[in-house]
Structure 1
Amino acid sequence: MPADPSLDRLANATLLVPFESYEAPPWLLDGLADGIAGVCLFHNNIRGPEQVAALNAVLAGAAESPLVSLDEEGGDVTRIGQRAGSDYPGNAALGAVDDPVLTRAVHAALGAELRSLGITLNLAPTVDVNTAADNPTIGTRSFGSDAALVARHAAAAVAGLQDAGVAACAKHFPGHGATRQDSHTELPTVDADADLLHRRELLPFREAVGAGVRTILTAHIRLPAYGLDGPATLSPRVLTGLLREEMGFTGVVISDALDMTGVSGDIGMPEAAVRALAAGCDLLCLGRFTYADDVAAVRAAIVAAVREGRLDGARLEEAATRLGELRSWTSGRPVPPRADAIGLDVARRAVRVTGELPPLRDPVVTEIDAPPGIAVGDVPWGLAPWFPGTERVDPATARPSDVLARASGRDLVLVVRDAHRFPAAREFVTAVCTARPDTVVVEMGLPEWRPECRAHVSTYGAARVNGQSAAELLGGIGATSVR
């Protein structure tokens, strides 16, 4: 059967693609000219502000108002702050402060920075209610475990980003916070009945819709309450029935990355793309390493599905219309002036201290290593920038006695990240604190576990500003004291 340029273009209009480098490759520029909806930037595309602004100007010139997106949540999940950590506290810190006006201001400042770089769509905020403390993929990305708190901050974050002319994206619908598995590597289950889902998981999404959120991103999760054996991303009952018909959402539905095992592990990405579109997704986020040949394979699968009658062409036309409206909205927003940096002030307000925190003199600082989540990636964290000589140890192989010997005659600070999720970290910290009850422990994840120690400092995130806020309390070099 001969190629149909109009059908190819309709298929392209549903694609949000990554690419390889700091410069736009020819296949991408040609694809944008042929109707690809937009791009998703990752760490390998961002070297610095001037470079990414120039790159995005090239992308913007390749087509009329292409979407330029990334996952810039602030806090632990950052793309523009990948080299040194984010200048914006993440959602857990904002939830700890619990000032929606401040949350809106932080996201307006973040949005203004993104818009100045040429970003038009931010795949944020995360509005999952993190009710599973050992959740491996949400954690500090959530505003908290209380649905009402998450809901009010979801609305504020959406408003702040869109005040700055950046389309916001509430994720991960219908809620990833009650899972104990990571959908990057498997298909998690949310074991809650429909009534609980409406009272808990769905409340923040309803508030985001009420705040005018332009896009919503799906979750690769199983919902037994809705009769799902497969992921919500591929379910018409969830995306069309629940989100559109019941909740009244009229914007763009974006799939979570289709390279994730939770959605394509058994069927492959091209088939997952077809099923996601049929279920009600308008824009397909293809993932991290899906380049020219893989993009072509996805497009070919969509075209073939239409020709075979497995996918209604009207579904593609509907998606293209919504995406055209979104692209028009982003192109019509004025670029706001850069806002004053407020991230550090918010991070300071989020810090919580239990116990007695005395002035520390020449402390030995030891960081207990923890593996980053897949969504977070390799982003610096800890207190080393403010405490020269900081050592990071693997709790599975390091000996507490070595840390104790190094700190003999000096104050001792242990830095952990989500210690509640890692038994080896808890055992290591417990052994040190038992021998040195005057130890100060800094938790840069969720403070779900607290050892017996002199003082416990919770930052509610591992962004650079969270680290600096803790360093100020501890008297780190170059940190301005707020005590």
Structure 2
Amino acid sequence: MTAPVSATDSLTRDALAVLQPAFAGTDTAPAWLLRLMENGMTGVGLFGRNVVSPAQLTSLTGQLRAANPHALISIDEEGGDVTRMEVGGGSSFPGNHALGAVDDPALTRAVATEMGRRLAACGVTVNWAPSADINSNPDNPVIGTRSFGDDPALVARHTAAFIEGTQSTGVAACVKHFPGHGDTDVDSHLALPRIGVDLETLHARELVPFRAAVAAGTRCVMSAHILLPALDPELPGTLSPAVLHGLLRAPATDGGLGFDGLIFTDGMEMDAIAATHGMERGTVLAIAAGADAICVGGTAWEEDQVLALRDALVAGVRTGLLTEERLHEAAERVRDLGRWTVAARERSTAGEPAPGVGLEAARRALTVTRPAGRPAAVPGGPAHVASFNPATNIAVGSETPWGLAAELGRLLPGTTESVHTPDSAPGRSAADRAREILDAAGERTVVAVVRSAHRHAWMAQTVDALLAARPDTVVVEMGVPQATPAGAPHIATHGAARVCGQAAAEVIAGVG
């Protein structure tokens, strides 16, 4: 029979220290959360549900820091498709794919610096970014435009630049998803992806950006819930000592990356872990494998759920599944990072604000392909925007608006929009969908806005039908531009952030 759990002993405080839960609330942090922060818990994860405005967020994080001055207050602010700070209106910064398309590390550094400055001003201390995944599989449903690209060297130099910019503001960067989530066609939110590459390929491709991240001084790395049989045939990376200790922590002389900072897990509520190992056992196995901080953020948590994970860690020590020394080491790494964030904010080297750098980057990222003799712009009259809206992956979230109809309507008054999904009018042919769009457009120029059309046959076929009927249709690709450009013109934005839509609208309207 195990001893009862005490709320004050050092083992229990260590167990609390490694938990980084999400919560509900915008104006006031829950009383239970503040109480746990005062009694050992070291951090939280913030999501779109916690953000209304910069002033509101600053007040909320102030409550958390009052409870624990060294609190790790983490957020997913990648820019582009994944934004929490601007969840209601879309990001002021293009995402990784757009930055990779420009391929100017100084610009990437400047974007990350401005993003970090805004996070720091609101009291955020850790950014779960950048994604260092190589988009080696163009059918990847969860990475896509979150990746800088498909070339390891390009991804490496932009990963390093993003880290340098972020950490110059006193915000810790957390590079993800180790050891690389790019070569998969399964979303780990929904199932366990399996990546069958050999070790030689892993070292030559997936690990190149992570080595650059370690060299750039990233304070944190986030693990991926992926199975790599070449390293561990049974356990996903988050739970695997071979991945976290044997590869990420091991010195370079032993074939590892030599990382000695903080290892976050990806969200433990994701089905790749929760549906196979359970959250409580998964949490214990993750810490035992070498993780230091447990991220639980898919849904808002309550006190009893957090305490259940705490008690599972304590029980894991007492039953021998986890050593007390390993748990204490993890807790100390979390506390050390908290102390670093306080000191780093005081010595920030970010320089002057650059509020326009995101739009500048989005404009530079555009790739415009024009048929011979045709202009890019359709000035002087309204357009009809046909927005093709695929299912959004969980990391992006369905609440963040995307597209360019609003921006184009501002520049070309009278512009209208129709939205099309795979579930709208099921069973209808591409030709029927195209006729519906043309009927709505009338004499207006049609602007077809797609998102990774190569992954969605219904989308690509409808655009083909539109182009056959109206060759002057403008096509705007706001995902990964894998398909052959077609349209009059074809505009690739390399992302769906608000500023990407604005940049494309400027081209179409002939302004800017």
Q: Please report the TM-score for the alignment, with normalisation by the length of structure 2.
A: 0.91
Partner residue in 1 for 2:451: 417
Compute the displacement of 1:338 (Å). Answer: 6.0
Deviations 1:293-338 (A, max 9, x none): 2111111100001011111000011112211221111011226566
Match of 1:17 among 5, 21, 27: 21
| Cα distance in 2, alignment partners of residues 315 and 358 from structure 1 | 60
Question: Superposed, which structure 2 residues align to 1:40-439 within 5 Å?
Answer: 40-245=45-250, 246-289=256-299, 290-333=301-344, 334=346, 339-341=353-355, 342-356=357-371, 357-360=375-378, 361-377=381-397, 378-386=399-407, 387=409, 388-397=415-424, 399-439=433-473
The alignment partner of 1:186 has SS state of: coil
- Does structure 2 conserve the Cα–Cα contact (< 8 Å) formed by 1:16 and 1:283? yes
- Does structure 2 conserve the Cα–Cα contact (< 8 Å) formed by 1:445 and 1:459? yes
- Does structure 2 conserve the Cα–Cα contact (< 8 Å) formed by 1:126 and 1:142? yes
- Does structure 1 conserve the Cα–Cα contact (< 8 Å) formed by 2:376 and 2:488? no
- Does structure 1 conserve the Cα–Cα contact (< 8 Å) formed by 2:232 and 2:243? no
| Cα distance in 1, alignment partners of residues 423 and 341 from structure 2 | 49
Gaps of 5+ in 2: 251-255, 410-414, 426-432
CA RMSD of superposed structures (Å): 1.4
* AA at the equivalent of 2:139: D
Compute the displacement of 1:227 (Å). Answer: 3.2
Compute the displacement of 1:406 (Å). Answer: 2.6
| Cα distance in 2, alignment partners of residues 35 and 73 from structure 1 | 29
The alignment partner of 2:187 has SS state of: coil
- Does structure 1 conserve the Cα–Cα contact (< 8 Å) formed by 2:370 and 2:376? no
- Does structure 1 conserve the Cα–Cα contact (< 8 Å) formed by 2:366 and 2:491? yes
* AA at the equivalent of 2:470: R
The alignment partner of 1:224 has SS state of: coil
- Does structure 1 conserve the Cα–Cα contact (< 8 Å) formed by 2:175 and 2:220? yes
Deviations 1:326-377 (A, max 9, x none): 1111011226566111100010000001123443132221111211110000
| Cα distance in 1, alignment partners of residues 325 and 193 from structure 2 | 32
Partner residue in 2 for 1:446: 480
Compute the displacement of 1:64 (Å). Answer: 2.8
* AA at the equivalent of 2:68: A
* AA at the equivalent of 2:337: L
The alignment partner of 1:59 has SS state of: helix
- Does structure 2 conserve the Cα–Cα contact (< 8 Å) formed by 1:395 and 1:428? no
The alignment partner of 1:305 has SS state of: helix
* AA at the equivalent of 1:419: A
* AA at the equivalent of 1:346: A
In the alignment of these two chains, the number of paired residues is 478
Deviates more, 1:366-375 or 1:343-352: 366-375
| Cα distance in 1, alignment partners of residues 306 and 133 from structure 2 | 29
| Cα distance in 2, alignment partners of residues 384 and 452 from structure 1 | 20
Deviations 1:15-68 (A, max 9, x none): 111111112001100111111120100111111111100000010000131100
Shift in alpha-carbon separation, 1:403–1:21, aligned structure 2, 3 A? same
Deviates more, 1:162-171 or 1:405-414: 405-414
Compute the displacement of 1:224 (Å). Answer: 1.4
- Does structure 2 conserve the Cα–Cα contact (< 8 Å) formed by 1:100 and 1:152? yes
- Does structure 1 conserve the Cα–Cα contact (< 8 Å) formed by 2:402 and 2:498? yes
Shift in alpha-carbon separation, 1:435–1:84, aligned structure 2, 3 A? same
| Cα distance in 1, alignment partners of residues 484 and 447 from structure 2 | 14
Gaps of 5+ in 1: none
The alignment partner of 1:148 has SS state of: helix
- Does structure 2 conserve the Cα–Cα contact (< 8 Å) formed by 1:113 and 1:338? no
* AA at the equivalent of 1:184: H
